[in-house]
Amino acid sequence: MRPLNNSDNGTALHFVVSNGRLEIAKELVQLMSEEDLEILDSIGRTALHLALLHRGDSHEIVKCMVEKNKKLLSIRFNNDEIAIPSVLATIEGRVAMSQYLYSASPLETLEDLADAGVVMSACVVKSRFDILLDLVQRHPKAAFTENKSKVSPFSLLAGMHVPPTPTINTEKEPTIDAFNDARTNAQKLGRRSS
């Protein structure tokens, strides 16, 4: 596929994905070679990156692209350290998408401690502890690997604000009202910290 003469110099797939034409995008993916899917626009994005940034239901087109070319899972948006697709989906709050991309990512994508650390940091920030726990079990050293800003996933996790546990006055016999008051206070604290 040849790049279109649009402002981002992307392919036709870039154009239809960015315009939300996901049914047409699926047809294009079928016609494109694996290498065509790796083409970057002038900003440094693959069509997969655009699909992850699309606010609609783009899970089907993402899956279609990934199944055709697993290398897409290792291509960084504009060579940014945080922009492999699984991290981008996590940062965008796309829970199901980040879980799918993480599970589909080749192991070598996350073998580098710095890359694993970036994924862990994104998981800490977005409270994706399921992925975080899996990564820590695979790469415990990555939890202490600092990024360009000299911050490690472990230091991020350690610095998270956790609301205090409500206490119940134990000098008198606790009543159901005391437990309900404690639960209400905990819910209020949780809303304020969000």
Residue-level pLDDT at 51 = 93
For 149, which DSSP code? T
Does residue 131 form part of some domain?
no
Please say whether the beta carbons of 11 and 36 come within 8 A: yes
Residue-level pLDDT at 163 = 55
Tell me the three state secondary structure of residue 6. coil
Tokens linked to 2:
């040849």
Could you give the angle at which helices 59-68 and 22-31 cross, rounded to 10 degrees?
Answer: 10
Q: What is the pTM of this model?
A: 0.69
Number of domains the chain contains: 2
* Per-residue pLDDT of the chain in tens (194 residues, 90 and over written 9): 434 444 567 899 999 998 889 899 999 999 999 999 999 998 889 999 999 988 778 899 999 999 999 999 988 887 665 568 888 888 888 888 988 998 898 777 777 777 777 788 888 888 878 888 888 888 888 888 887 778 888 888 887 655 555 555 555 554 555 555 555 555 555 555 44
Does residue 103 form part of some domain?
no
HEC-encoded secondary structure of 49-92: HHHHHCCCCCHHHHHHHHHHCHHHHHCCHHHCCCCCHHHHHHHC
Does residue 22 form part of some domain?
yes
Please say whether the beta carbons of 124 and 156 come within 8 A: yes
Q: Which of 89, 56, 57, 55 is closest to 72 using CA atoms?
A: 89
Which of 79, 102, 128 is the C-terminal boundary of a domain? 79
Which of 17, 44, 79 is the C-terminal boundary of a domain? 79
CA 48/CA 117 separation, integer angstroms: 22
Does residue 128 form part of some domain?
no
For 142, which DSSP code? G
Q: 192 burial class (0-12, 13-18, 19+ CB within 10 angstroms)?
A: exposed
Does residue 109 form part of some domain?
no
Does residue 166 form part of some domain?
yes
CATH number, domain of 42, equals 1.25.40.20
Could you give the angle at which helices 129-138 and 113-125 cross, rounded to 10 degrees?
Answer: 160
CB atoms within 10 A of CB 169: 10
CA distance readout (Å), 71 to 84, 108, 128, 160, 192: 11, 11, 24, 34, 41
Tokens linked to 142:
């990555």
**What is the domain extent for residue 171?**
161-194
Residue 162: partners with Cβ closer than 8 Å, 6 or more residues away? none
Does residue 44 form part of some domain?
yes
Does residue 133 form part of some domain?
no
Which of 54, 79, 104 is the C-terminal boundary of a domain? 79
